[in-house]
Each structure stands twice: as C-alpha cells, then as structure tokens.
Amino acid sequence: MRGLKISEILLRIFLVFAGLAAALLVSETILRFTHFQTFILHEATPAGYFSEDTNLGRDITPNIPPTLSPFYDHPYMVWSNELGCFDRPYLGETPYIYLTGDSQTWGYAPYEYKWGTKLEGLLHTRIVKCGVPGYGTMQEFLKTSRDMERLAAPELIIVGYFDNDILDDERQYPRTERKVGTGRHWDGAQSWLNDHSILFGLIQASLNNTGETGPPSQHLKDANFETIVRFNAMARKRGAKFLVVLIPAKNAVITKSHNFKSLKDRLREQHIDFLDPEEEFARFVQKKNTSAYWVYDGHMNLAGNELLGLLVAKYVLENRMVPLKDRDTLLEQTNQAVSNLI
C-alpha cells in the first residue's frame, strides 16, 4: 500500500464493496429461479389477506374471495370467511368445535386436505377453523376470546400448538429487554428482508438449524404456559372442553427429539388434555417410506394433514370430548384408517 494516494485506496475499497454487492445481487437473482424462492413466498397468501389489528398485530381480512396461493410445493386456493378464517362461512351450526393455531393449523394445503377439514369429516361435527399464519399462543387466545363473544359456546376448543409459538409470542408481545442495537427500526428492516431476500432467509434458516439463535428462556416458557392455562380456564368458563395438539416439527420427527417433554409434564400437572402424535408420525414415515411434510417447506403435506386429522379424531372420540350418537361407529372407522397408515 506504500505510495498509494488516499483517492486510490478509497477507489479500491469502493471496487471491493461494489464487487461484493454485484455478487450478492447475481446470487439473489439466480436463487429466485430455484426452489429457494420459498423463502420469500413463505406466507403463501394473496395481497391484502392480512389487515392490521390493534390487539393482535394483524389478523386475516374477512371475506377475501378465493385466490390462487403462490405456495411453491403445491399451489392451492386461499380465501377467508366473515370471521377472518380460512374456512367456509359459519352459519351458526351447533354443536361445533373451535380450532385455532398458527400456520400448521391454518393450512399450507388445499382446504379439503387441511387437518381441521379432515377432522370435521371424521367427527361429523362442524369445526370453525381459525388458525392464522405467524400467530403465537397469546394471539390465538385473544382471537379465540374475541370470537367467543359473538359465537355460541363450542363443545370443544382445540389449539394446534407448534414449537415456535413461544418465540412468536415474544415477537408480538415482548416481555424481555431487547439487546443493544435492536428495536423498531431493526424489526422493520428484518421484516422487509424476510419478505424480499432469499439470501437473508437462508442465513436465518442456517442460524436456526445450528441453534445460534438459542432456545427460549425459561421466563418466556413460563409466560407462554401461563397463556395456555388462561386458555383452558376460558374454555371451561364457556362450558367447553379444551385440547392442546402438539404438532411435531419436521426435524423432530426425523430425529425423534421429543421437543415437548417439559411442556407435557406441566400440562399433566394442570390436568390439561393434550395429544402428542410425534411417535405416530415417526411410525408413518418409517412404514410408508415417505414424508409427512412438504419437500421444500416445513409444513405438513397432504399426508401429514390426513394423519393428524385422524389422530386428533381418535383422541376426541376415545375421550368422549364431543357428544356423538354414532361415536362407536366413527371410532371403529377412524381406528381402521389409522392402522392403515401406521
């Protein structure tokens, strides 16, 4: 560097950064023609599908007409009803079951293949299917509570619980002090990058897979479990039973990591009904030599939705969680269908 003028040094620095920027731009462009485009199509919802909500952060906009989803693995039609749910119109049918959860419950599959829709057919009982992508347990509790104010009491409230619900709660309703350098401006930038940069999505996925982002703290776990307890109390106050369905993650089924062990202990202590189908999912994968999840996405595929619908129906029927005149016949049919899969 001896003898170089400052202007030449600055020029070289500029050329280095310009070359790096060009390389990133070319990489980003190429990735958009591969299956990695799923990192910016992760919502799989049409424009305007979500609206801002004071208490929930966002909610599904009511009465969205059927629109083709851009979901990479399996495009399908998406819509919403008058309740702001990916479901057919609710006409006041009773008895009924209210189903909530995040994207694993919302869909990422054609409506007729969603596990909530499968469950509805298996139980011969109307299910109001109100999962919302990106929701944590607190948002699910608040939306359900609001819906209960305008609906008749259900026989059963089911929560589809996924392992990222704790962090989703913290993202929407922070309970811990943010690290230096984070805050509203970074949240906005991160949101934009999530929606527009495949490279950023790959980096995020890599950090999640290596555990660099870290597991939720005990404080966050306690706060999340407190919401589950409140959920149960709200259901009981309405005269409804309450069930938590612990939806297994794609990696958990492969590694048999039993992510929900401590949560199950706490649910037992509070006498809260739950279903953990991770072992059944693992047996299905082994027996059928196939996956219960999409190839390029972590959500359940058609087979996974069918299996979960059957397993939840089996639990509901065995534990008499809804009044059904033909319960024995339905249970026999469900058990036969389950045995065919696992």
Q: Which of 177, 176, 179, 201 is nearest to 190 (CA)?
A: 201
Tally of domains within the chain: 2
Please report, to the nearest 10 degrees, the dihedral formed by the alpha carbons of residues 168, 171, 173, 178 taken in order.
Answer: 140
Q: What percent of the chain has pLDDT over 70?
A: 84
Report yes or no on 186 lying in a domain. Answer: no
> Based on the domain organization, do 17 and 84 belong to the same domain?
no
> Based on the domain organization, do 125 and 274 belong to the same domain?
yes
**Rounded CA separation 98/157 (Å):** 5
Q: Is the peptide bond before 323 cis (omega within 30 degrees of 0)?
A: no
C-beta of residue 116 within 8 angstroms of C-beta of residue 309: yes
> Based on the domain organization, do 117 and 44 belong to the same domain?
yes
**Rounded CA separation 87/235 (Å):** 21
User: Longest C-alpha distance within the chain, in Å?
Assistant: 93
> Based on the domain organization, do 50 and 13 belong to the same domain?
no
| DSSP type of residue 293 | B
What six digits make up the tokens of 59?
A: 């909610």
What is the model's pLDDT at position 192? 67
| Residue entry with tokens 């016949």 | 329
> Based on the domain organization, do 17 and 143 belong to the same domain?
no
> Based on the domain organization, do 98 and 17 belong to the same domain?
no
Report yes or no on 290 lying in a domain. Answer: yes
> Based on the domain organization, do 21 and 41 belong to the same domain?
no
What is the model's pLDDT at position 296? 83
> Which runs of consecutive H residues, i.e. helices, occur in 124-242?
137-148, 165-172, 184-196, 198-210, 218-237
Give the model confidence (pLDDT) of 187-229 as tens digits: 556 656 666 676 676 676 555 443 344 578 899 999 999 999 9
Report yes or no on 317 lying in a domain. Answer: yes
> Based on the domain organization, do 14 and 93 belong to the same domain?
no
* Beta strands 57-60 and 50-53, pairing class: antiparallel
3-class SS at 52? Answer: strand
3-class SS at 309? Answer: helix
Report yes or no on 188 lying in a domain. Answer: no
Which of 108-112, 211-215, 246-250, 292-296 has the least mean pLDDT? 211-215
318 CB neighbour count, 10 Å cutoff: 12
Bridge partners (DSSP) of residue 161 are 246
3-class SS at 8? Answer: helix
pTM recorded for the entire structure: 0.83
pLDDT band at residue 15 under the 50/70/90 scheme? confident
Report yes or no on 142 lying in a domain. Answer: yes
Report yes or no on 20 lying in a domain. Answer: yes
261-277: average pLDDT: 97
Which range of residues forms the domain containing residue 26? 6-31
> Based on the domain organization, do 13 and 116 belong to the same domain?
no
Would you say residue 150 has pLDDT above 90? yes
C-beta of residue 278 within 8 angstroms of C-beta of residue 256: yes
> Based on the domain organization, do 50 and 78 belong to the same domain?
yes
| Residue entry with tokens 């612990």 | 246
What is the model's pLDDT at position 212? 40
What is the model's pLDDT at position 100? 98
C-beta of residue 133 within 8 angstroms of C-beta of residue 152: no
275 CB neighbour count, 10 Å cutoff: 19
CA distances 280 to 44, 242, 256, 311, 323, Å, are: 28, 22, 11, 8, 26
Would you say residue 38 has pLDDT above 60? no
> Based on the domain organization, do 266 and 232 belong to the same domain?
yes
Give the model confidence (pLDDT) of 77-118 as tens digits: 999 999 999 999 999 999 999 999 999 999 899 999 999 999
At 155, give phi and psi (nearest 5°). Answer: -75, -30
Q: What mean pLDDT is reported for the chain?
A: 87
- Domain of 170, CATH number, reads 3.40.50.1110
Would you say residue 182 has pLDDT above 70? no
What is the model's pLDDT at position 200? 72
What's the number of CA atoms in the CB half-sphere (13 Å) around residue 94?
Answer: 7
What six digits make up the tokens of 234?
A: 């709200």
What is the model's pLDDT at position 181? 43
C-beta of residue 64 within 8 angstroms of C-beta of residue 132: no
> Based on the domain organization, do 150 and 269 belong to the same domain?
yes
Would you say residue 307 has pLDDT above 90? yes
Bridge partners (DSSP) of residue 246 are 161
Report yes or no on 189 lying in a domain. Answer: no
Count of all residues that appear for the chain in the document:
342
Q: Which of 331, 265, 311 is nearest to 115 (CA)?
A: 311
**Rounded CA separation 100/91 (Å):** 18
DSSP string, 179-196: PTT-SHHHHHHHHHHHHH
3-class SS at 26? Answer: helix
Report yes or no on 253 lying in a domain. Answer: yes
